[in-house]
Homo-oligomer: A and B are copies of this chain.
Amino acid sequence: MKNKRKIINDPVFGFISIPNEDIYDVIQHRYFQRLNRIKQLGISSFVYPGAQHTRFQHSLGAMFLTSEAIKELRLKGHEITQNEASSVMSAILLHDIGHGPYSHLLESTIIQEVSHEKISEILIEKINDELNGTLDLAIKIFKNQYPKKFLHQLISSQLDMDRMDYLRRDSFFTGVVEGEIGSARIIKMLDVFEDKLVIEQKGIHSIENFLMARRFMYWQVYLHKTSIAAEMMLIKILRRAKAMSFAGETLFASPSLQFFLSNEINADNFLKNDEIIEHFVEIDDSDIISAIKVWARHSDTVLSVLSKNFSERILFKAEESERMTEDKEMELRKKYAAHFAVNQQDADYFFEQKEINNNTYDLEDDNINIVFSDGSVKDISQVSDILNPEILNHGIRKNYLCFLKI
Protein backbone atom coordinates (compact mmCIF):
# COMPACT_ATOMS: atom_id res chain seq x y z
CA MET A 1 0.00 0.00 0.00
CA LYS A 2 3.05 2.21 -0.28
CA ASN A 3 2.59 3.76 3.13
CA LYS A 4 -0.97 4.72 2.41
CA ARG A 5 -3.80 3.54 4.55
CA LYS A 6 -6.83 3.07 2.38
CA ILE A 7 -10.22 4.11 3.58
CA ILE A 8 -13.47 3.66 1.72
CA ASN A 9 -16.55 5.77 2.31
CA ASP A 10 -19.59 3.61 2.95
CA PRO A 11 -23.01 5.20 3.38
CA VAL A 12 -24.06 2.40 5.73
CA PHE A 13 -21.09 2.10 8.10
CA GLY A 14 -19.18 5.34 7.52
CA PHE A 15 -15.49 4.84 6.86
CA ILE A 16 -14.26 1.32 6.19
CA SER A 17 -10.52 0.84 6.57
CA ILE A 18 -8.68 -1.74 4.56
CA PRO A 19 -6.71 -3.42 7.32
CA ASN A 20 -3.59 -4.57 5.49
CA GLU A 21 -1.79 -4.96 2.20
CA ASP A 22 -2.85 -8.56 1.56
CA ILE A 23 -6.48 -7.60 1.80
CA TYR A 24 -5.82 -4.56 -0.33
CA ASP A 25 -4.46 -6.85 -3.06
CA VAL A 26 -7.60 -8.99 -2.91
CA ILE A 27 -9.82 -5.96 -3.33
CA GLN A 28 -7.77 -4.71 -6.26
CA HIS A 29 -7.99 -8.06 -8.04
CA ARG A 30 -9.98 -7.91 -11.28
CA TYR A 31 -12.23 -10.76 -10.14
CA PHE A 32 -13.22 -8.71 -7.11
CA GLN A 33 -13.47 -5.39 -8.96
CA ARG A 34 -16.04 -6.92 -11.30
CA LEU A 35 -18.41 -7.24 -8.32
CA ASN A 36 -18.83 -3.47 -8.60
CA ARG A 37 -20.65 -4.15 -11.87
CA ILE A 38 -23.05 -6.69 -10.36
CA LYS A 39 -26.03 -5.44 -8.39
CA GLN A 40 -26.56 -7.10 -5.03
CA LEU A 41 -30.31 -7.37 -5.51
CA GLY A 42 -30.39 -7.99 -9.24
CA ILE A 43 -33.82 -7.31 -10.56
CA SER A 44 -35.15 -5.64 -7.39
CA SER A 45 -34.33 -2.16 -8.64
CA PHE A 46 -37.46 -2.50 -10.79
CA VAL A 47 -39.45 -2.33 -7.55
CA TYR A 48 -37.07 -0.39 -5.31
CA PRO A 49 -35.22 2.11 -7.48
CA GLY A 50 -32.76 2.78 -4.67
CA ALA A 51 -31.54 -0.82 -4.71
CA GLN A 52 -28.63 -0.26 -7.09
CA HIS A 53 -25.98 -1.26 -4.59
CA THR A 54 -23.43 -3.83 -5.71
CA ARG A 55 -21.91 -7.03 -4.42
CA PHE A 56 -18.67 -5.07 -4.09
CA GLN A 57 -20.09 -2.82 -1.38
CA HIS A 58 -21.78 -5.71 0.36
CA SER A 59 -18.54 -7.66 0.52
CA LEU A 60 -16.71 -4.69 2.01
CA GLY A 61 -19.49 -4.21 4.55
CA ALA A 62 -19.38 -7.88 5.56
CA MET A 63 -15.61 -7.53 6.01
CA PHE A 64 -16.18 -4.51 8.24
CA LEU A 65 -18.69 -6.34 10.44
CA THR A 66 -16.34 -9.30 10.65
CA SER A 67 -13.62 -7.03 11.98
CA GLU A 68 -16.09 -5.76 14.60
CA ALA A 69 -17.03 -9.32 15.57
CA ILE A 70 -13.36 -10.27 15.91
CA LYS A 71 -12.76 -7.29 18.22
CA GLU A 72 -15.70 -8.38 20.36
CA LEU A 73 -14.67 -12.03 20.58
CA ARG A 74 -11.13 -11.04 21.51
CA LEU A 75 -12.47 -8.82 24.30
CA LYS A 76 -14.33 -11.87 25.59
CA GLY A 77 -11.06 -13.72 25.83
CA HIS A 78 -11.10 -15.82 22.66
CA GLU A 79 -7.74 -15.92 20.98
CA ILE A 80 -7.73 -14.98 17.33
CA THR A 81 -4.30 -14.46 15.81
CA GLN A 82 -3.45 -11.66 13.36
CA ASN A 83 -3.22 -14.20 10.58
CA GLU A 84 -6.55 -15.79 11.49
CA ALA A 85 -8.21 -12.38 11.65
CA SER A 86 -6.83 -11.32 8.30
CA SER A 87 -7.81 -14.65 6.76
CA VAL A 88 -11.40 -14.55 7.99
CA MET A 89 -11.68 -11.06 6.59
CA SER A 90 -10.28 -12.19 3.23
CA ALA A 91 -12.62 -15.16 3.25
CA ILE A 92 -15.73 -13.07 3.82
CA LEU A 93 -14.60 -10.53 1.25
CA LEU A 94 -14.46 -13.37 -1.24
CA HIS A 95 -17.53 -15.32 -0.14
CA ASP A 96 -19.61 -13.96 -3.01
CA ILE A 97 -16.89 -13.87 -5.65
CA GLY A 98 -18.61 -16.67 -7.57
CA HIS A 99 -21.75 -14.69 -8.22
CA GLY A 100 -22.51 -13.79 -11.78
CA PRO A 101 -24.99 -11.14 -12.89
CA TYR A 102 -28.56 -11.86 -11.77
CA SER A 103 -26.99 -14.85 -10.22
CA HIS A 104 -29.90 -17.05 -9.30
CA LEU A 105 -31.32 -16.62 -12.77
CA LEU A 106 -28.12 -17.50 -14.53
CA GLU A 107 -27.92 -20.63 -12.44
CA SER A 108 -31.26 -21.77 -13.77
CA THR A 109 -30.62 -20.79 -17.36
CA ILE A 110 -27.29 -20.47 -19.01
CA ILE A 111 -25.04 -22.18 -16.50
CA GLN A 112 -27.24 -24.91 -15.19
CA GLU A 113 -26.42 -26.79 -12.05
CA VAL A 114 -23.29 -24.88 -11.18
CA SER A 115 -23.74 -23.20 -7.83
CA HIS A 116 -22.12 -19.86 -7.12
CA GLU A 117 -20.58 -21.37 -4.00
CA LYS A 118 -18.67 -23.85 -6.14
CA ILE A 119 -17.55 -21.10 -8.52
CA SER A 120 -16.40 -19.04 -5.55
CA GLU A 121 -14.10 -21.85 -4.49
CA ILE A 122 -12.52 -22.05 -7.91
CA LEU A 123 -12.03 -18.31 -8.22
CA ILE A 124 -10.53 -18.00 -4.75
CA GLU A 125 -8.01 -20.69 -5.61
CA LYS A 126 -7.07 -18.80 -8.74
CA ILE A 127 -6.65 -15.52 -6.90
CA ASN A 128 -4.56 -17.35 -4.29
CA ASP A 129 -2.26 -18.62 -7.00
CA GLU A 130 -1.74 -15.11 -8.30
CA LEU A 131 -1.16 -13.78 -4.82
CA ASN A 132 1.42 -16.44 -3.96
CA GLY A 133 -0.58 -18.29 -1.38
CA THR A 134 -1.53 -15.42 0.92
CA LEU A 135 -5.04 -16.88 0.96
CA ASP A 136 -4.08 -20.39 2.10
CA LEU A 137 -5.59 -20.01 5.54
CA ALA A 138 -8.57 -18.06 4.22
CA ILE A 139 -9.38 -20.98 1.94
CA LYS A 140 -9.17 -23.49 4.80
CA ILE A 141 -11.58 -21.35 6.83
CA PHE A 142 -13.83 -20.84 3.83
CA LYS A 143 -14.05 -24.61 3.26
CA ASN A 144 -14.51 -25.25 6.98
CA GLN A 145 -11.33 -27.25 7.11
CA TYR A 146 -9.73 -25.22 9.87
CA PRO A 147 -9.87 -26.45 13.46
CA LYS A 148 -11.36 -23.25 14.93
CA LYS A 149 -14.79 -23.88 13.47
CA PHE A 150 -16.30 -20.66 14.81
CA LEU A 151 -14.21 -18.68 12.36
CA HIS A 152 -16.01 -20.39 9.49
CA GLN A 153 -19.31 -19.56 11.15
CA LEU A 154 -18.50 -15.87 10.95
CA ILE A 155 -18.59 -16.22 7.17
CA SER A 156 -21.23 -18.88 6.79
CA SER A 157 -23.93 -19.72 9.32
CA GLN A 158 -27.25 -18.40 10.57
CA LEU A 159 -25.27 -15.71 12.37
CA ASP A 160 -22.71 -14.92 9.71
CA MET A 161 -21.60 -11.42 8.91
CA ASP A 162 -22.84 -11.97 5.36
CA ARG A 163 -26.47 -11.73 6.37
CA MET A 164 -25.78 -9.11 9.05
CA ASP A 165 -24.52 -6.88 6.28
CA TYR A 166 -27.00 -7.72 3.57
CA LEU A 167 -30.03 -7.19 5.76
CA ARG A 168 -28.84 -3.78 6.93
CA ARG A 169 -27.61 -2.79 3.51
CA ASP A 170 -30.64 -3.96 1.57
CA SER A 171 -32.86 -2.25 4.13
CA PHE A 172 -30.84 0.95 3.75
CA PHE A 173 -30.87 1.09 -0.04
CA THR A 174 -34.44 -0.07 -0.60
CA GLY A 175 -35.69 2.35 2.05
CA VAL A 176 -37.55 -0.49 3.80
CA VAL A 177 -36.77 0.63 7.33
CA GLU A 178 -38.47 -2.37 8.90
CA GLY A 179 -35.54 -4.53 7.76
CA GLU A 180 -33.19 -2.60 10.03
CA ILE A 181 -31.54 -5.11 12.33
CA GLY A 182 -29.54 -4.26 15.42
CA SER A 183 -26.31 -5.64 13.94
CA ALA A 184 -24.19 -3.76 16.46
CA ARG A 185 -26.15 -5.20 19.39
CA ILE A 186 -26.06 -8.74 17.99
CA ILE A 187 -22.31 -8.50 17.57
CA LYS A 188 -22.01 -7.35 21.19
CA MET A 189 -23.93 -10.50 22.19
CA LEU A 190 -21.71 -12.90 20.25
CA ASP A 191 -19.67 -15.43 22.13
CA VAL A 192 -17.98 -18.75 21.41
CA PHE A 193 -19.00 -21.91 23.24
CA GLU A 194 -17.49 -25.30 22.45
CA ASP A 195 -16.02 -23.83 19.27
CA LYS A 196 -19.37 -22.55 18.08
CA LEU A 197 -20.73 -19.04 17.75
CA VAL A 198 -23.46 -18.53 20.29
CA ILE A 199 -25.56 -15.65 21.51
CA GLU A 200 -25.74 -14.63 25.15
CA GLN A 201 -29.06 -15.23 26.86
CA LYS A 202 -29.92 -11.55 27.05
CA GLY A 203 -29.70 -11.44 23.28
CA ILE A 204 -32.77 -13.66 22.71
CA HIS A 205 -35.00 -10.72 21.82
CA SER A 206 -32.37 -9.33 19.46
CA ILE A 207 -32.37 -12.65 17.63
CA GLU A 208 -36.15 -12.79 17.50
CA ASN A 209 -36.08 -9.29 16.10
CA PHE A 210 -33.40 -10.28 13.59
CA LEU A 211 -35.42 -13.26 12.37
CA MET A 212 -38.54 -11.13 12.03
CA ALA A 213 -36.68 -8.37 10.17
CA ARG A 214 -35.25 -11.00 7.84
CA ARG A 215 -38.70 -12.46 7.29
CA PHE A 216 -40.01 -8.99 6.56
CA MET A 217 -37.31 -8.38 3.98
CA TYR A 218 -38.17 -11.68 2.34
CA TRP A 219 -41.80 -10.80 1.86
CA GLN A 220 -41.33 -7.12 1.17
CA VAL A 221 -38.22 -7.23 -0.99
CA TYR A 222 -36.61 -10.54 -1.92
CA LEU A 223 -39.88 -12.30 -2.71
CA HIS A 224 -41.82 -9.23 -3.78
CA LYS A 225 -44.41 -10.31 -6.35
CA THR A 226 -43.16 -7.90 -8.97
CA SER A 227 -39.58 -9.04 -8.52
CA ILE A 228 -40.58 -12.67 -8.90
CA ALA A 229 -42.44 -11.82 -12.06
CA ALA A 230 -39.52 -9.81 -13.43
CA GLU A 231 -37.11 -12.62 -12.63
CA MET A 232 -39.32 -15.12 -14.39
CA MET A 233 -39.42 -12.84 -17.41
CA LEU A 234 -35.64 -12.60 -17.50
CA ILE A 235 -35.34 -16.36 -17.18
CA LYS A 236 -37.68 -16.79 -20.14
CA ILE A 237 -35.66 -14.34 -22.22
CA LEU A 238 -32.37 -16.06 -21.48
CA ARG A 239 -33.84 -19.49 -22.15
CA ARG A 240 -35.20 -18.32 -25.48
CA ALA A 241 -31.86 -16.77 -26.39
CA LYS A 242 -30.06 -19.96 -25.47
CA ALA A 243 -32.51 -22.10 -27.41
CA MET A 244 -32.11 -19.90 -30.47
CA SER A 245 -28.34 -19.94 -30.17
CA PHE A 246 -28.35 -23.72 -29.94
CA ALA A 247 -30.50 -23.72 -33.02
CA GLY A 248 -27.74 -21.89 -34.83
CA GLU A 249 -28.87 -18.30 -34.59
CA THR A 250 -26.18 -15.75 -33.74
CA LEU A 251 -27.65 -13.22 -31.38
CA PHE A 252 -26.06 -9.94 -30.44
CA ALA A 253 -24.09 -10.50 -27.24
CA SER A 254 -20.67 -9.82 -25.85
CA PRO A 255 -18.33 -12.70 -26.74
CA SER A 256 -18.45 -14.12 -23.24
CA LEU A 257 -22.22 -14.01 -22.98
CA GLN A 258 -22.25 -15.48 -26.50
CA PHE A 259 -20.13 -18.31 -25.23
CA PHE A 260 -22.60 -19.21 -22.51
CA LEU A 261 -25.54 -18.95 -24.86
CA SER A 262 -24.08 -21.33 -27.37
CA ASN A 263 -22.41 -23.92 -25.19
CA GLU A 264 -23.73 -26.53 -22.80
CA ILE A 265 -22.27 -25.59 -19.44
CA ASN A 266 -22.61 -27.85 -16.47
CA ALA A 267 -20.93 -28.52 -13.18
CA ASP A 268 -18.70 -31.01 -14.81
CA ASN A 269 -17.06 -29.05 -17.59
CA PHE A 270 -17.24 -25.72 -15.72
CA LEU A 271 -14.80 -26.82 -13.10
CA LYS A 272 -12.31 -28.35 -15.44
CA ASN A 273 -12.22 -25.81 -18.17
CA ASP A 274 -10.26 -22.63 -17.75
CA GLU A 275 -11.82 -21.11 -20.83
CA ILE A 276 -15.25 -21.28 -19.22
CA ILE A 277 -13.96 -19.59 -16.08
CA GLU A 278 -12.34 -16.85 -18.11
CA HIS A 279 -15.59 -16.17 -19.90
CA PHE A 280 -17.52 -16.31 -16.66
CA VAL A 281 -15.54 -13.54 -14.99
CA GLU A 282 -16.07 -11.34 -18.04
CA ILE A 283 -19.84 -11.11 -17.77
CA ASP A 284 -21.71 -8.76 -15.53
CA ASP A 285 -25.05 -6.94 -15.45
CA SER A 286 -24.09 -4.76 -18.41
CA ASP A 287 -23.76 -7.68 -20.84
CA ILE A 288 -27.26 -8.91 -20.05
CA ILE A 289 -28.94 -5.52 -20.07
CA SER A 290 -27.18 -4.33 -23.19
CA ALA A 291 -28.03 -7.51 -25.12
CA ILE A 292 -31.69 -7.58 -24.16
CA LYS A 293 -32.20 -4.07 -25.50
CA VAL A 294 -30.86 -5.24 -28.86
CA TRP A 295 -32.94 -8.42 -28.83
CA ALA A 296 -36.04 -6.23 -28.52
CA ARG A 297 -35.69 -5.59 -32.25
CA HIS A 298 -35.11 -9.18 -33.27
CA SER A 299 -37.42 -10.81 -35.80
CA ASP A 300 -38.23 -13.69 -33.45
CA THR A 301 -41.56 -12.81 -31.87
CA VAL A 302 -40.95 -14.49 -28.53
CA LEU A 303 -37.53 -12.96 -28.00
CA SER A 304 -38.45 -9.50 -29.18
CA VAL A 305 -41.78 -9.22 -27.36
CA LEU A 306 -40.29 -10.33 -24.07
CA SER A 307 -37.14 -8.25 -24.48
CA LYS A 308 -38.93 -5.09 -25.50
CA ASN A 309 -41.39 -5.31 -22.64
CA PHE A 310 -38.65 -6.07 -20.16
CA SER A 311 -36.57 -3.08 -21.29
CA GLU A 312 -39.54 -0.77 -20.98
CA ARG A 313 -40.51 -2.18 -17.57
CA ILE A 314 -43.73 -3.72 -18.81
CA LEU A 315 -43.24 -6.74 -16.62
CA PHE A 316 -44.96 -10.08 -16.17
CA LYS A 317 -47.79 -9.91 -13.70
CA ALA A 318 -47.66 -12.31 -10.74
CA GLU A 319 -50.83 -13.59 -9.13
CA GLU A 320 -50.95 -15.81 -6.10
CA SER A 321 -52.91 -18.90 -7.02
CA GLU A 322 -53.36 -22.63 -6.68
CA ARG A 323 -51.12 -24.74 -8.88
CA MET A 324 -52.56 -24.70 -12.39
CA THR A 325 -54.41 -27.68 -13.68
CA GLU A 326 -53.29 -29.11 -17.00
CA ASP A 327 -56.49 -27.86 -18.56
CA LYS A 328 -55.87 -24.36 -17.42
CA GLU A 329 -52.31 -24.57 -18.67
CA MET A 330 -53.44 -25.71 -22.10
CA GLU A 331 -55.97 -22.93 -22.20
CA LEU A 332 -53.31 -20.34 -21.51
CA ARG A 333 -50.98 -21.89 -24.03
CA LYS A 334 -53.63 -21.64 -26.71
CA LYS A 335 -54.43 -18.08 -25.77
CA TYR A 336 -50.84 -16.89 -26.08
CA ALA A 337 -50.22 -18.94 -29.23
CA ALA A 338 -53.20 -17.29 -30.86
CA HIS A 339 -52.40 -13.81 -29.64
CA PHE A 340 -48.79 -13.80 -30.77
CA ALA A 341 -49.20 -16.16 -33.72
CA VAL A 342 -46.62 -18.59 -32.38
CA ASN A 343 -46.75 -22.32 -31.90
CA GLN A 344 -47.97 -23.80 -28.64
CA GLN A 345 -44.50 -24.75 -27.46
CA ASP A 346 -43.34 -21.17 -27.88
CA ALA A 347 -46.46 -19.90 -26.12
CA ASP A 348 -44.99 -21.33 -22.91
CA TYR A 349 -42.50 -18.49 -22.91
CA PHE A 350 -45.25 -16.05 -21.95
CA PHE A 351 -46.27 -17.57 -18.65
CA GLU A 352 -44.98 -19.79 -15.86
CA GLN A 353 -45.81 -20.94 -12.39
CA LYS A 354 -43.38 -20.29 -9.58
CA GLU A 355 -43.46 -21.72 -6.12
CA ILE A 356 -41.63 -19.72 -3.51
CA ASN A 357 -40.66 -20.70 -0.05
CA ASN A 358 -39.82 -18.28 2.72
CA ASN A 359 -37.86 -20.06 5.37
CA THR A 360 -37.38 -17.57 8.14
CA TYR A 361 -35.08 -19.94 9.86
CA ASP A 362 -33.82 -23.18 8.53
CA LEU A 363 -32.90 -25.92 10.93
CA GLU A 364 -31.19 -27.82 8.15
CA ASP A 365 -28.80 -24.96 8.02
CA ASP A 366 -26.85 -24.15 11.15
CA ASN A 367 -28.68 -23.45 14.37
CA ILE A 368 -28.75 -20.19 16.25
CA ASN A 369 -27.66 -21.23 19.68
CA ILE A 370 -28.38 -19.33 22.84
CA VAL A 371 -26.09 -19.84 25.80
CA PHE A 372 -27.75 -19.51 29.20
CA SER A 373 -26.21 -18.34 32.41
CA ASP A 374 -26.32 -21.91 33.72
CA GLY A 375 -24.09 -22.97 30.82
CA SER A 376 -26.77 -24.77 28.84
CA VAL A 377 -27.15 -24.11 25.13
CA LYS A 378 -30.44 -24.20 23.30
CA ASP A 379 -31.71 -23.48 19.83
CA ILE A 380 -33.59 -20.22 19.39
CA SER A 381 -36.64 -22.05 18.06
CA GLN A 382 -36.89 -23.86 21.39
CA VAL A 383 -36.54 -20.81 23.58
CA SER A 384 -38.41 -18.09 21.77
CA ASP A 385 -41.86 -17.83 23.23
CA ILE A 386 -43.26 -15.49 20.63
CA LEU A 387 -42.20 -17.07 17.37
CA ASN A 388 -44.22 -19.99 16.09
CA PRO A 389 -41.68 -22.83 15.87
CA GLU A 390 -43.71 -24.62 13.22
CA ILE A 391 -43.42 -21.69 10.85
CA LEU A 392 -39.94 -20.77 11.97
CA ASN A 393 -38.65 -24.16 10.95
CA HIS A 394 -40.76 -25.00 7.96
CA GLY A 395 -41.45 -21.72 6.30
CA ILE A 396 -44.25 -20.65 4.07
CA ARG A 397 -44.92 -21.75 0.54
CA LYS A 398 -46.77 -19.72 -2.03
CA ASN A 399 -47.56 -20.43 -5.63
CA TYR A 400 -47.54 -17.64 -8.19
CA LEU A 401 -48.72 -17.58 -11.75
CA CYS A 402 -46.51 -15.20 -13.72
CA PHE A 403 -47.67 -14.08 -17.15
CA LEU A 404 -47.54 -11.34 -19.71
CA LYS A 405 -50.66 -9.23 -19.70
CA ILE A 406 -52.24 -9.15 -23.14
**Residues of chain B contacted by A12 (CB below 8 angstroms):** 50, 175
Query: Which A residues from 211 to 253 make CB contacts under 8 A with B?
Result: 212-213, 215-216, 219-220, 252
Q: Which residues of B contact A56 (CB under 8 A)?
A: 49
Q: Kindly identify, within residues 36 to 84 of chain A, every residue whose CB is under 8 Å from any CB belonging to chain B.
A: 36-37, 39, 45, 48-50, 52-54, 56-57, 60, 75
Check A50 against B11 for contact (C-beta < 8 Å).
Answer: yes
**Could you tell me the distance in whole angstroms from the C-beta of A384 to the nearest C-beta in chain B?**
8
User: Is A313's beta carbon under 8 Å from chain B?
Assistant: yes
The 0/1 profile, CB within 8 Å of B marked 1, for residues 241-273 of chain A is 000000000001011000000000000000000
The residue in A28, A54, A60, A175 that gathers the most chain B C-beta atoms within 10 A of its C-beta is: A175
Which residues of B have CB within 8 Å of A287? 286, 290, 293
List 18 A-B residue pairs with CB atoms under 8 Å apart, sorted by A's residue number: A7-B188, A9-B174, A12-B50, A14-B175, A33-B312, A49-B57, A49-B60, A52-B52, A52-B54, A212-B386, A252-B254, A284-B293, A286-B286, A286-B288, A286-B289, A287-B290, A290-B291, A387-B388
A11 and B175 contact, Cβ closer than 8 Å, known pairs A286-B290, A392-B386? yes
Residues of B within 8 A of A175 (CB): 9-12, 14
A30 at the interface (CB under 8 A from B): yes
- Which residue of chain B lies nearest to A181 when distances are taken between CB atoms in the complex? B178
Whether the pair B49, A54 counts as a contact (CB closer than 8 A) is yes
A15 to B48, CA, bound (A): 11
CB <8 Å contact, A213 and B219? no
Q: Known: A205-B219, A255-B252, A290-B290. Is A172-B11 also a contact (CB below 8 A)? A: yes
Residues in A lying within 8 Å of B, measured CB to CB: 5, 7-12, 14-15, 28, 30, 33, 36-37, 39, 45, 48-50, 52-54, 56-57, 60, 75, 172-178, 180-182, 184-185, 188, 205-206, 208-209, 212-213, 215-216, 219-220, 252, 254-255, 282, 284-291, 293-294, 297, 311-313, 360, 385-388, 391-392, 396
Verify B208–A33 contact, CB threshold 8 A.
Answer: no
Contacts of A52 in B (CB 8 A): 39, 52-54
Tell me what chain A mostly uses at the interface: helix, strand, loop, or mixed.
helix
Residues in B with CB closer than 8 Å to A37 are 289
The chain B residue sitting closest to A15, CB to CB, is B184
A15 and B188 contacting across the interface, CB-CB below 8 Å: yes
A5-B74 Cα distance, complex, nearest whole Å: 13
Contacts of A182 in B (CB 8 A): 176-178
Which of B9, B28, B205, B286 touches A313 (beta carbons < 8 Å)? B28
Could you list 13 further interchain pairs (A-B, Cβ under 8 angstroms) beyond the known A37-B289, A286-B289? Answer: A9-B174, A15-B185, A28-B313, A49-B54, A49-B60, A177-B185, A178-B205, A178-B209, A205-B219, A252-B254, A255-B297, A286-B287, A385-B388
Which of B75, B216, B286 is within 8 Å of A285, CB to CB? B286
- Residue in B closest to A57 when the chains form the complex, CB atoms: B49
In the bound complex, do residue A30 and residue B311 qualify as a contact, i.e. CB atoms below 8 Å apart? Answer: yes
CB proximity of A260 to chain B, nearest CB, Å: 14
CA–CA, A177 to B10, complex, Å? 11
Contact of A388 among B39, B178, B388 (CB under 8 A): B388
**Complex formed: what's the CA distance from A184 to B215 in Å?**
19
Once the chains bind, are B396 and A391 in contact (CB under 8 Å)?
Answer: no
Closest-CB distance, A199 to chain B (whole angstroms): 14
Bound complex: CA of A14 vs CA of B65, how far in Å?
Answer: 14
Distance A284 CA – B175 CA, assembled complex (angstroms): 25
Report the Cα distance A253→B17, complex, angstroms: 38
Interchain nearest-CB distance for A17 vs B (Å): 8
Are B5 and A75 in contact (CB-based, < 8 A)?
yes
Task: Specify the chain B residue showing the minimal Cβ separation from A210.
Answer: B178
Q: Lowest 4 A-B CB distances belong to which pairs?
A: A52-B52, A286-B286, A11-B175, A286-B289
